[in-house]
Amino acid sequence: MALLKGILGRKLGMTQVFDGEGKAISVTVIKAGPCVVVQKRPASDDGLQPVQMGFEEVKESRVNQPMKGHFAKAGVSPMRHLAEFRLAGAEGLEPGSQVTASIFKPGDKVAVTAISKGRGFAGGMKRHGFHGGPASHGSMSHRRPAAGGATDPARVFPGTKKPGHMGAEQVTVRGLQVVQVHEDKSLLLLRGAVPGPTGGLVRVTQPVVRPRASHRVKIVS
């Protein structure tokens, strides 16, 4: 996916801000960056250039020898998290340069990727939204799943909706709007909810919006 901008950060929680008309807006506060460019690879055939960014400095004793050499080659301090962004325009991003929250501005539409909260083992009603059985007295199937499919194969087909592990998976929410940018504190305020727990690592990107192809019908007289 082609990107215009990208940065790593941490989710700090939710709060409210007021717009110009005095209406309350629920926003998620993200500590975005600062990130350091660690590596920049040549552009591919599609014109996109992979840029590796690091987030949150870490002690040198926390990284192994290959990673020490990787950071030393870029001339930057060891970083806790590394992520690669395939950018459509990476001019000026050289190893050692910083990327801050100022790359975004109010009104931008962004996508946020994070690991969702883990819910542990969950039943069908919570995990898949099943309606459940009768709630009256005497029913033996209030919340348990009903038919499990065909019985002839004597096995459960892959992908069948069953109780099981829920959450703790990568989730991307698109179309979130940037409400405020506090460059001095490296904060982004996004309208709406962001996946993941408070303090979780998030990836904020601005995808390239390509115009839809128009399908015109040629009328032959």
Per DSSP, 154 falls in state S
Shared-domain flag, residues 52 and 66:
yes
Count of CB atoms within 10 A of residue 149's CB? 12
**Looking at residues 143-170, what average pLDDT do you find?**
88
Residue 63, Ramachandran bin (φ over 0: left; ψ between -120 and 50: alpha; else beta): beta
Report if residue 27 sits inside a domain: yes
CA distance 130 to 144: 9
**Model pLDDT for residues 98-151, shown as the tens digit of each residue:** 888 988 999 999 999 999 999 999 999 999 999 999 999 998 889 988 887 888
Task: Write out the two tokens for 45.
Answer: 């055939």
**Model pLDDT for residues 1-46, shown as the tens digit of each residue:** 567 888 999 999 999 999 888 899 999 999 997 999 998 888 877 7
Quote the pLDDT of residue 25. Answer: 92
Q: Read out DSSP for 84-150?
A: EEEES--TT--TT-EE-GGG--TT-EEEEEEEPPEEEEE-HHHHH----S--STT-S-SSS----S-
Task: Write out the two tokens for 69.
Answer: 């050499």
Q: What angle do CA 54, 57, 59 make, to 5 degrees?
A: 130
Provide φ and ψ at 9, rounded to 5°.
-165, -170
pTM of the model: 0.80
Q: Supply the range of the domain harboring residue 202.
A: 1-32+103-120+162-209
The per-residue pLDDT of the chain, averaged, comes to: 88
The region of weakest confidence among 6-10, 67-71, 91-95, 122-126 is 91-95
Report if residue 75 sits inside a domain: yes
pLDDT band at 210 (very low <50, low <70, confident <90, very high): low
Check which CATH number belongs to the domain holding 182 and give it: 2.40.30.10
Q: Where is the domain boundary, 68, 99, 130?
A: 99
Report if residue 156 sits inside a domain: no
Length of the chain: 221
Check which CATH number belongs to the domain holding 42 and give it: 3.30.160.810
* Domain count of the fold of the chain: 2
Shared-domain flag, residues 17 and 61:
no
Report if residue 216 sits inside a domain: no
Q: Where is the domain boundary, 50, 68, 99?
A: 99
Query: Per-residue pLDDT for 212 more than 80?
Result: no
Residue in 37, 34, 31, 30 with CA at minimum distance from that of residue 83: 37
Task: Write out the two tokens for 64.
Answer: 């192994």
Shared-domain flag, residues 72 and 17:
no
Residue in 116, 121, 114 with CA at minimum distance from that of residue 166: 121
Shared-domain flag, residues 27 and 90:
no
